[in-house]
Amino acid sequence: MKTVFTPLGQFEEFLQGDMGKKSIFGLSYYIKEMEKEFERVRKAIPFELTEEAKQKYIDFDHINIDFKKFISESGLLVSFDWENWLEGNEVLEGVRPMSKLNQVKVFKMLTLIFKKDLDDHGYFDHHLKNGNILLMFKNLPEYSEQQS
């Protein structure tokens, strides 16, 4: 599996092209699966879970490998200086709100999570299970259009 990174300077053009639109559309399956899993746990456990408990009950084993493969090959990962992106790190640490992300920042955040997972195995899974990845995708205009 070869990971494809789209250069930051070409990323908006990529997203507006056919390949970008197809890649974003391909996320819809994973978004639905994430929503179904969060809803399953919400129905099964009628009270608010702590972060630690969520990690135990939420189960994305059925999509995890395919989802990572899809992301790797989609072109939705951005080539940029992710190690020095202060804003992205602050969003993941909860210092800044996730709701203020535009389309490019959503995929920069996804790239940041993906890259950090290489050094800290389980980092991607943590953000998948705590709902951060789903929240990021809900910032996409395509998601908003689907909900209307």
pLDDT per residue over 40-61, tens digit each?
998 998 888 887 887 889 999 9
Which pLDDT score, from 0 to 100, does residue 47 have? Answer: 85
Is the pLDDT score of 148 beyond 50?
no
State what percent of residues in the chain have pLDDT above 90: 72
Task: Match 């092209």 to its residue by tokens.
Answer: 17
Question: What digits encode the pLDDT tens for the residues 75-108?
Answer: 999 999 999 999 999 999 889 888 778 999 999 9
- The residue-averaged pLDDT of 20-40 equals 95
Which pLDDT score, from 0 to 100, does residue 2 have? Answer: 87
Query: 56: how many CB neighbours lie within 10 A of its CB?
Result: 11
Q: Which residue has the higher pLDDT, 145 or 11?
A: 11
Global pTM exceeds 0.85:
yes
Distances (CA, A) of 107 to 39, 56, 58, 124, 145: 25, 27, 23, 14, 18
Distances (CA, A) of 49 to 10, 122, 132: 41, 20, 15
> Which pLDDT band holds residue 116 (cuts at 50, 70, 90)?
very high
Is the pLDDT score of 136 beyond 70?
yes
Which pLDDT score, from 0 to 100, does residue 143 have? Answer: 63
- Report how far residue 31's alpha carbon sits from residue 148's, in angstroms, rounded to the nearest whole number: 16
> Which pLDDT band holds residue 142 (cuts at 50, 70, 90)?
low
49: left (phi over 0), alpha (psi -120 to 50) or beta: beta
Is the pLDDT score of 145 beyond 90?
no
Q: Which of 84, 131, 89 lies closest to 109 in space, CA to CA?
A: 89
